[in-house]
Homo-oligomer: A and B are copies of this chain.
Amino acid sequence: MRVAAPTRLEDEMAMMARAVDRQFDLLLAAPDDQRARLYEAMRHAGIGGGKRMRPLLVKASCDLFNVSEESAARAGLAVECIHVYSLVHDDLPAMDNDDIRRGKPTVHRAYDEATAILAGDCLHDLAYAILVDERTHPDPFARCELVKALALASGPAGMAGGQMMDLVAETSSFDLATITRLQQLKTGALIGFCVEAGAIMARVKEEGRHSLRGYARDLGLAFQIADDLLDVEGSAEITGKAVGKDAAAGKGTFVSLMGVERARDQARMLVEQAKEHLSGFGTQADLLRDIADFAILRSH
């Protein structure tokens, strides 16, 4: 049975969605020259749709450490730039070859492949440009730490490395350990960045981030299992993207290896575990707790 997300979280999500759209709208005003198409493609990719779960996680992480709203918003936008660029590139014909995303044509369908590649590349640069700007954090050391952590989470030791494994998975059969590793890289690394962003900006030492890392690891896997369940059980209408693709491709997923029931139990357990990592925090961690609950409640 699916239940609605807690009202408090729904409000936060709706506010964040508006804030992210507004920020992209301001940043991506198209110039009146031959680059207009590039900016329009970036706008198409960035504005409208998406759960904006990553910026919300950054905000939730900043709530824990009283990091300013502007810092949270800008770091959240940066990680959304990375997420969106990765969707644009992953949707390309040479990669996952998807035609719809967030209920709209993918960028290469709405524009063309070359423009989609460039729009992704530009969103990629934009992420780092946002992070190093003084408005993100007054302390340049903290800004450098953000860039360092995001580059690690995005590159071959993170998201892009996971996407490479995912491409290999199309022609190999992976066991559960390998799929877990794949997902920890492909989606977990960026979620880890989001959850640590507040600690980085509050200059919390590495030793003080163990519980956050534990939360992020469990949350990331719970989200992925929920995604796999939606790929089996959801509809394109609800998810805003193609479904049933993994099964059609014969690709191993948590659900194909564990079965629907065990996968659902595993996701529930991971959410409880994620919340346990937050036991040292008071009500300031409520948004992180709500997001964990939402991981297995969401219908899209």
Contact surface of A with B, Cβ cutoff 8 Å: 33-35, 37-39, 42, 85-86, 89, 92, 94-95, 112-115, 117-118, 120-122, 124-126, 128-129, 131-133, 139-141, 143-145, 147-148, 151-152, 154-156, 160-161, 163-165, 167-169, 172, 178, 181-182
What are the residues of chain B within 8 A of A92 when measuring CB–CB?
Answer: 114, 117
Say how many copies of this protein the assembly contains: 2
Can you list 19 A-B pairs, Cβ within 8 angstroms, ordered by A?
A33-B165, A34-B182, A35-B161, A35-B165, A85-B121, A89-B117, A94-B113, A94-B117, A118-B167, A121-B124, A122-B155, A122-B156, A122-B160, A125-B155, A131-B147, A132-B144, A139-B140, A143-B144, A144-B144
**Contact across chains for B148 and A34 when beta carbons are under 8 A apart:** no
Residue of B nearest to A112 (CB): B94
Residue of B nearest to A172 (CB): B34
Whether A167 contacts B94 in the complex (CB less than 8 A), given A144-B132, A151-B132, comes out as no
Residue of B nearest to A155 (CB): B125
What are the residues of chain B within 8 A of A95 when measuring CB–CB?
Answer: 114, 117
**Contact across chains for B151 and A126 when beta carbons are under 8 A apart:** yes
The answer, among B128, B148, B154, B165, for a CB contact under 8 Å with A151, is B128
**Contact across chains for B148 and A129 when beta carbons are under 8 A apart:** yes
What are the residues of chain B within 8 A of A140 when measuring CB–CB?
Answer: 139-141, 143-144
What are the residues of chain B within 8 A of A114 when measuring CB–CB?
Answer: 92, 94-95, 167
**Contact across chains for A126 and B144 when beta carbons are under 8 A apart:** no
**Contact across chains for B132 and A34 when beta carbons are under 8 A apart:** no
What are the residues of chain B within 8 A of A181 when measuring CB–CB?
Answer: 33
**Contact across chains for A168 and B89 when beta carbons are under 8 A apart:** no
What are the residues of chain B within 8 A of A167 when measuring CB–CB?
Answer: 114-115, 118
Q: How far is the CB of A187 from chain B (nearest CB, A)?
A: 15
A115 to B160, CA, bound (A): 10
A94 to B112, CA, bound (A): 8
**Contact across chains for B147 and A128 when beta carbons are under 8 A apart:** yes
Residue of B nearest to A113 (CB): B94
7 nearest A-B residue pairs (beta carbon): A94-B113, A125-B155, A129-B151, A140-B140, A38-B164, A140-B141, A34-B168
**Contact across chains for A148 and B165 when beta carbons are under 8 A apart:** no
**Contact across chains for A154 and B125 when beta carbons are under 8 A apart:** yes
What are the residues of chain B within 8 A of A164 when measuring CB–CB?
Answer: 34-35, 37-38, 115, 118
**Contact across chains for A156 and B124 when beta carbons are under 8 A apart:** no
**Contact across chains for B148 and A42 when beta carbons are under 8 A apart:** no
What are the residues of chain B within 8 A of A141 when measuring CB–CB?
Answer: 140
Q: How far is the CB of A178 from chain B (nearest CB, A)?
A: 7
What are the residues of chain B within 8 A of A113 when measuring CB–CB?
Answer: 94
